[in-house]
Amino acid sequence: MPKAELRFQWARLGDLNAVEFHAAMVQRVAVFVVEQNCVYQEADALDPVAWHLLAWSGDHLAAYLRVADPGTNYPEPSLGRVLTAPAFRGQGAGQQLITEALRCCAETWPGQSNRISAQHYLLKFYQSFGFAPVSEIYQEDDIPHVEMLRPGALQK
C-alpha cells in the first residue's frame, strides 16, 4: 500500500471544533472499546487537559493520539490513546503519527523523556522509536501492557 499523506493538527480540547473531536471519539471508541472488546470509560479526565494530535488524510481521520503534559499523568510528557484508523493501517500512518508526536514533545519540552503505557504486542513498534520497557507486563482492561520510557535528548 502507498504511504498515507497526512496533515497534522495539534490542539487542546477547547480548540477542537465539535466535528473534529467527534471524529477522534468515533475512532477511539471503534478501536479501544469495540475492536478490543473493552468496556470502560473512553472519554476521561485527561481529555480536557491533554494535547490532541489528529492526523488527517483529506477529510478522514487516519490516526490519533493525545499527549499529557509533564506532571499530569506521569512526571514526563506521556503519549496515550495511540491509534490508526482501520482503513489506514499498513500505510505508515502510525509511524508518521509517533514521529510527529515526538518531534513536538522535543520542541515543547526540550530534553525531557517520554513515557507510554503500551500494549505489549506493540513493544517492537515503540522500541523502533527509542522507547524501552521500564516495567513488567501488567494487565489493563484485560490487555497485556508494558510501561515504556524514551530518554530525552541531551541539551547543549
Q: pLDDT (tens digit, 9 = 90+) per residue, 96-143?
A: 999 999 999 999 999 999 999 999 999 999 999 999 999 999 999 889
Nearest to 58 by CA among 119, 4, 124, 113: 4
Cell numbers for 43, please give them.
472519554
Fold of 7-111: Aminopeptidase (3.40.630)
Question: Residue 20 pLDDT more than 50?
Answer: yes
Burial class (CB within 10 angstroms; exposed 0-12, middle 13-18, buried 19+) of 63: buried
Question: Residue 6 pLDDT more than 90?
Answer: yes
pLDDT for the residue 79? 98
Identify the weakest region by mean pLDDT among 2-6, 26-30, 64-68, 130-134.
2-6
Question: Residue 154 pLDDT more than 60?
Answer: no
Nearest to 64 by CA among 81, 43, 47: 81
Domain-by-domain residue ranges, the chain? Answer: 7-111
Q: pLDDT (tens digit, 9 = 90+) per residue, 31-67?
A: 999 999 888 888 999 999 999 999 999 999 999 999 9
Is the Cα dihedral 123, 124, 125, 130 positive or negative? positive
Contact 40, 33 (CB under 8 A): yes
Question: Residue 1 pLDDT more than 80?
Answer: no
Cell numbers for 150, please give them.
524514551
Question: Residue 156 pLDDT more than 60?
Answer: no
Burial class (CB within 10 angstroms; exposed 0-12, middle 13-18, buried 19+) of 11: middle
Is residue 16 helix, strand or coil? coil
Is the Cα dihedral 42, 43, 46, 49 positive or negative? positive
pLDDT for the residue 155? 47
What is d(CA 44, CA 40) in angstroms, rounded to the nearest whole number? 10
